[in-house]
């Protein structure tokens, strides 16, 4: 059966659809969802630099991850499965600075058929952040500063909190970025990337394609890692939220602080207070605390590791649920059967 992205796939994240037969993504946690009947499936994809990793999720279980080679290659994703209905998710684990992926094709092994893709979730979220939101350093030994194969946006607090809320999620995150300035003091921030599909200077994003009901911002670690004027940071943050409110319909906005430092908590509180005092009670501050190294350990170069991300994701999801009424996903009562 011939595969079609428009008929057989659901895309999550900002994809450039200039050529709808070859969708392009670059942001972490961008994903492709397909459903099929059969015993195996392959994917043909093109990576810009051979540094990207993707998470393979089959039938709801994260089973493996693979390093994409530079250029166009075919990858056998799964084979020898029980002949029946299956769902496949391909999630970009690595960030936008690592590279971009062009998805070319999916094919079934030994016959079978593609089905309508899995339905979208009932809640839509969007995350804005830096290396923490990117999942950078999450699986590294502390002394290992750069290890792309151990970065993991899928298991970052963004992915965890979104899945705990049974939500679709877009993630815009850049290592070293802030709201007003980056980690070395250059006056550039994530807001300038807001309007581009794949960041500043790229194809304009069509906001009507995805309207989130909840927006999570975790920016300030890098702004406050170098000297900064609090007023400039606060003004830039307020302007960014105003830009978000212009594009989306009355979303909840959660302004997070933590976990590598929290020396900007007071400034974020002023941002939240500005909106609350002007009549918007759907803007909240969320203090995610600091890393507890004796309990949670470190990730690479002082970044949060898996345990900290799980704690962050759990706390954030619970906070969001308490303010919105969105239900948290319950633990399964029966063990998942996994076929290997």
Q: What is the DSSP letter of 2?
A: -
* Nearest residue to 7 (alpha-carbon basis) of 44, 37, 30, 35: 35
Check pLDDT > 80 for residue 249.
yes
User: In this structure, is residue 306 part of a structural domain?
Assistant: yes
Token code pair at residue 114: 């593609």
- Give me the pLDDT at residue 335, please: 72
DSSP letters along 65-97, please? EEEPPBEEEEEEEE-S--SEEEEEEEEE-S-TT
The pTM score is 0.96
What range does the domain containing 224 cover? 123-324
Same domain, 15 and 92: yes
Domain closes at, from 87, 114, 141: 114
Cα 199 from chain centroid (whole Å): 14
Same domain, 161 and 278: yes
Same domain, 233 and 318: yes
Same domain, 101 and 222: no
User: In this structure, is residue 340 part of a structural domain?
Assistant: no
For residues 250 and 282, is the Cβ–Cβ distance under 8 A? Answer: yes
Of the candidate ranges 69-73, 109-113, 158-162, 195-199, the one whose mean pLDDT is the lowest: 109-113
Helices (H), the chain: 5-8, 131-134, 157-164, 230-247, 265-277, 293-296, 306-324
* Nearest residue to 28 (alpha-carbon basis) of 121, 131, 103: 131
Same domain, 209 and 100: no
- Report how far residue 188's alpha carbon sits from residue 172's, in angstroms, rounded to the nearest whole number: 15
Token code pair at residue 292: 């507890």
Q: Each residue of 256-290: pLDDT tens digit?
A: 998 999 999 999 999 999 999 999 999 999 999 99
Q: What are phi and psi of 20, to 5 degrees?
A: -60, -15
- Percentages (nearest 5) of helix, strand, coil residues in the chain: 25, 30, 45
- Report how far residue 116's alpha carbon sits from residue 138's, in angstroms, rounded to the nearest whole number: 34
User: In this structure, is residue 71 part of a structural domain?
Assistant: yes
Q: Each residue of 89-104: pLDDT tens digit?
A: 999 999 999 999 999 9
- Give me the pLDDT at residue 338, please: 54
User: In this structure, is residue 133 part of a structural domain?
Assistant: yes
Same domain, 277 and 129: yes
Q: Mean pLDDT in the chain?
A: 95
User: In this structure, is residue 333 part of a structural domain?
Assistant: no
Same domain, 131 and 48: no
CATH number, domain containing residue 216:
3.40.50.1110
For residues 174 and 193, is the Cβ–Cβ distance under 8 A? Answer: yes
For residues 290 and 258, is the Cβ–Cβ distance under 8 A? Answer: yes
User: In this structure, is residue 339 part of a structural domain?
Assistant: no
Q: Each residue of 33-59: pLDDT tens digit?
A: 999 999 999 999 999 999 999 999 999
Distances (CA, A) of 105 to 32, 126, 322: 11, 27, 41
- Give me the pLDDT at residue 147, please: 86
User: In this structure, is residue 330 part of a structural domain?
Assistant: no
Same domain, 252 and 272: yes
Same domain, 235 and 102: no
Domain closes at, from 65, 96, 114: 114
User: In this structure, is residue 281 part of a structural domain?
Assistant: yes
Number of domains in the chain: 2
Same domain, 296 and 208: yes
Domain closes at, from 76, 95, 114: 114
- Report how far residue 285's alpha carbon sits from residue 249's, in angstroms, rounded to the nearest whole number: 20
- Report how far residue 54's alpha carbon sits from residue 28's, in angstroms, rounded to the nearest whole number: 10
Q: What are phi and psi of 114, to 5 degrees?
A: -80, 150
- Give me the pLDDT at residue 337, please: 63
Same domain, 131 and 98: no
Check pLDDT > 60 for residue 340.
no
Same domain, 110 and 127: no
For residues 227 and 178, is the Cβ–Cβ distance under 8 A? Answer: no
CATH number, domain containing residue 51:
2.60.120.260
Check pLDDT > 80 for residue 236.
yes
* Nearest residue to 240 (alpha-carbon basis) of 156, 320, 315, 180: 180
């Amino acid at each position: 059966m011939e595969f079609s992205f428009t008929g057989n796939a659901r895309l999550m994240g900002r994809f450039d659809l200039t050529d709808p037969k070859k969708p392009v993504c670059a942001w972490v946690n961008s994903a492709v969802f397909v459903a099929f009947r059969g015993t195996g499936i392959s994917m043909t994809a093109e990576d810009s630099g051979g540094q990207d990793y993707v998470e393979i999720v089959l039938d709801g279980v994260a089973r493996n991850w693979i390093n994409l080679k530079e250029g166009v290659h075919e990858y056998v994703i799964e084979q020898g499965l029980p002949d029946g209905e299956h769902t496949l998710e391909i999630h970009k684990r690595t960030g936008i600075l690592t590279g971009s992926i062009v998805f070319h094709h999916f094919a079934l092994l030994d016959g079978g058929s593609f089905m309508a893709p899995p339905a979208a979730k009932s809640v839509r979220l969007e995350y804005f952040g830096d290396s923490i939101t990117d999942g950078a350093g999450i699986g590294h030994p502390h002394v290992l500063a750069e290890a792309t194969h151990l970065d993991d946006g899928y298991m970052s607090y963004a992915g965890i909190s979104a899945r705990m809320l049974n939500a679709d999620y877009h993630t815009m995150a850049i290592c070293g970025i802030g709201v007003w300035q980056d980690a070395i003091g250059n006056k550039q921030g994530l807001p300038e990337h807001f309007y581009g599909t794949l960041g500043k200077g790229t194809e304009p994003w069509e906001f009507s394609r995805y309207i989130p009901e909840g927006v999570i911002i975790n920016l300030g670690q890098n702004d406050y890692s170098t000297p900064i004027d609090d007023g400039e940071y606060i003004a830039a943050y307020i302007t960014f939220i105003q830009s978000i409110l212009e594009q989306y319909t009355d979303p909840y906005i959660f302004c997070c602080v933590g976990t590598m430092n929290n020396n900007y908590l007071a400034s974020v509180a002023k941002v939240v207070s500005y909106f609350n005092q002007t009549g918007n009670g759907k803007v909240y501050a969320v203090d995610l605390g600091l890393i507890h190294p004796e309990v949670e350990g470190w990730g690479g170069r002082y970044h949060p590791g898996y345990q900290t991300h799980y704690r962050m994701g759990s706390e954030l999801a619970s906070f969001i649920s308490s303010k919105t009424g969105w239900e948290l996903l319950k633990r399964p009562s029966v063990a998942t059967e996994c076929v290997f």
